[in-house]
Amino acid sequence: MTSFLLGILHCVSCFTVSRYIAEDRYFIDIDFQLLTCRPRDPANMKALMEEYVNLCTDLSRKIMRGIALALGGLPNEFEGERAGDPFWVLRIIGYPGVSTTNGHATSENDIGCGAHTDYGLLTLVNQDDGITALQVKNSSGEWISAPPVPGTFVCNIGDMLKIWSNGLYNSTLHRVVNNSPKFRVCVAYFFEPNYDVGVEPLDFCVKKTGGVKKFERAVYGEHLVSKVKTNFVM
């Protein structure tokens, strides 16, 4: 399946697999053989993606346990009814390089993905080595680059963790600007809460931030659908 995020110029392609809540199965299990635009190489891509998802899910759980402890909670704060059955999403995204006309680079493909925050808890971003394109807005309002470091992930904080932590962890505003002539590939794994969970600031986080809830309650699945309808053309 191919999706286009508003703010994307030209052909940024995105191959997506995710949980299928209606029957508690995965899109990858149901639709992979039916997708007309599915990758044909490698032939065992389905098995590779399932293994990758399982590894990323396990890593994300471990990171979230560390975040829970850092917030002053128990290590299992984000398990069970909150994110024990996470609605994960995996996207393989391709960003065209800068075009050239008469030997000069043009800017028509520079913006690969407009500024946005991620919807859920935590995103693990696996970037192409040697191509710096991901940018993050810092607390001073400046766009700074997040260059790829071989063997590492960039970890983005999502909207739901911002709410649960009452702003102690802020969702990361980021964008992609590919000024390289090379085609850039990024694999993004989104670790999300349970689909139907209600998300509101945790009591111990409220106490650490002045005793006032800074965010209203949100249902993750409703937030996800609202964001997708706003940001994507399918």
Find the CATH number of the domain harbouring 225. Answer: 2.60.120.330
pLDDT band at 93 (very low <50, low <70, confident <90, very high): confident
Residue 54 pLDDT:
92
96 with 10: CB under 8 angstroms? Answer: yes
Q: In terms of C-beta density within 10 A (0-12 exposed, 13-18 middle, 19 or more buried), how is residue 146 classed?
A: middle
Q: What is the C-alpha to C-alpha distance for residues 41 and 105, in angstroms, rounded to an integer?
A: 31
Whether the predicted pLDDT of 29 surpasses 50: no
> Domain total for the chain?
1
Write the pLDDT tens digit of every residue in 50-88: 899 999 999 999 999 999 999 999 999 999 999 999 999
Return d(Cα 59, Cα 67) in angstroms, integer: 13
Count the neighbouring beta carbons within 10 Å of the beta carbon of residue 114.
13
Question: Would you state the structure tokens that stand for residue 43, as one six-digit string?
Answer: 């032939």
Domain of 162, in residue numbers: 4-233
SS3 call for 196: coil
Going by pLDDT thresholds of 50, 70 and 90, the confidence category of residue 12 is low
Contact between 223 and 121 (Cβ < 8 Å)? no
pLDDT band at 202 (very low <50, low <70, confident <90, very high): very high
Nearest to 1 by CA among 30, 35, 47, 44: 35
Residues ≥6 apart with Cβ < 8 Å to 109: 9, 10, 95, 96, 97, 98, 99, 178
pTM above 0.85, yes or no: no
> How many Cβ atoms are within 10 Å of 11's Cβ, its own excluded?
11
